[in-house]
């Protein structure tokens, strides 16, 4: 039985020209972006390649681009003979790629769904009013205390529990700024504002989540062919209604990534393969559990390294 968990990165791992080297050797990359472009009605690959007017970093383009990139790498992994994962999970947006991998969601439907998700998130809070920040060196309980102490009509909340000592907060920009100062005073090693205006996974996304739920009602889901651990509760959902509800709630609840990785490990995963641009989740896996073997696959060299390990170790 496979000991591999496939994990998929989300927004923040994008870069101009991502997967270019992989695309030169594997036609699955270009084919995946072509499918995405047909579903969206615009050339997504051109945005990734050329980044006109900094579009790649605009949420409405970032999210479809990252989903396409994640799915493209998963297809390359399969075409290259990579072992079928036993389980999957994705960080925030990456959860949609995990559901595609599991057969719970068709790729074209997933692209359209993610594009609508991005639009709803972008429009949920006026530009400049929302913010996010990364706090390093404080545990989740201490960050929650800081946010709760500052909570008034202005919202600031912990929204990503990424690894021990690595928590992201989000909310109104002025409240986030106050929380950054409070975190520094509390001994945070780093407390930095992130270059985004959408306060993802905060309660400011509740209206967007309600609209997303309505939109999802017309999207066809299927029971997953492999277990997917969801962000919102670090649990697996085998039924379609449970998956839809987990995705809806994910939008305005914290990403429980530490618990999700632990759930994958407890279910028997010993090797984490990050399928998609960057190495963020590989780094987090090692921070969460140093005994975990983790590989980031995003180019030919990293693909071959991960495949070699699996061949040699029977993963």
Q: Which residues are designated catalytic?
A: 92, 201
Q: Which residues contact 226 (CB under 8 A, 6 or more apart)?
A: 84, 85, 86, 87, 88, 101, 102, 103
Q: What φ, ψ does residue 99 adopt, rounded to 5°?
A: -70, -35
Q: 154-171: string of b/e by CB count within 10 Å (b at 16+)?
A: ebbbbbbbbbebbbbbbb
Do 182 and 149 touch, CB atoms closer than 8 A? yes
Q: Assign 292 to helix, strand or coil.
A: coil
DSSP string, 176-235: HHHHHHHHHHTT-SEEEE-S--S-TTSGGGHHHHHHHHHHHTTS-B---SS-EE-TTTS-
- The Cα 224–Cα 205 span in angstroms is 27
Q: What φ, ψ does residue 157 adopt, rounded to 5°?
A: -145, 150
Do 134 and 120 touch, CB atoms closer than 8 A? no
| Structural tokens at position 117 | 């998700």
């Amino acid at each position: 039985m496979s000991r591999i968990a496939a994990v998929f990165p989300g927004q923040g791992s994008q870069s101009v020209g991502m997967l270019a080297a992989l695309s030169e050797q594997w036609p699955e990359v270009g084919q995946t972006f072509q499918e995405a472009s047909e579903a969206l009605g615009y050339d997504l690959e051109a945005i990734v390649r050329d980044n006109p007017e900094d579009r790649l970093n605009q949420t409405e383009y970032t999210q479809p681009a990252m989903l396409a990139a994640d799915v493209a790498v998963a297809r390359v992994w399969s075409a290259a003979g990579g072992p079928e994962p036993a389980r999957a999970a994705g960080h925030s947006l990456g959860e949609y790629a995990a559901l595609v991998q599991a057969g719970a969601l068709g790729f074209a439907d997933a692209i359209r769904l993610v594009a609508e998700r991005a639009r709803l998130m972008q429009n949920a809070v006026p530009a400049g009013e929302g913010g996010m920040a990364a706090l390093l060196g404080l545990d989740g309980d201490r960050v929650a205390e800081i946010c709760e102490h500052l909570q008034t009509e202005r919202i600031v909340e912990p929204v990503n529990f990424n690894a021990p000592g690595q928590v992201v907060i989000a909310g109104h920009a002025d409240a986030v700024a106050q929380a950054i100062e409070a975190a520094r005073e509390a001994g945070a090693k780093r407390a930095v504002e992130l270059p985004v205006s959408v306060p993802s996974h905060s309660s400011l996304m509740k209206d967007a989540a309600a609209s997303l739920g309505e939109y999802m009602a017309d999207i066809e889901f299927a029971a997953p062919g492999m277990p997917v651990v969801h962000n919102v509760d670090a649990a697996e959902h085998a039924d379609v209604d449970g998956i839809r509800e987990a995705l809806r709630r994910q939008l305005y609840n914290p990403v429980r990534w530490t618990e999700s990785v632990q759930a994958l490990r407890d279910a028997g995963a010993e090797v984490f393969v990050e399928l998609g641009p960057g190495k963020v989740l590989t780094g987090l896996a090692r921070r969460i559990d140093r005994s975990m073997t983790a590989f980031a696959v995003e180019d030919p060299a990293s693909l071959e390294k991960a495949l070699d390990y699996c061949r040699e170790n029977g993963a």
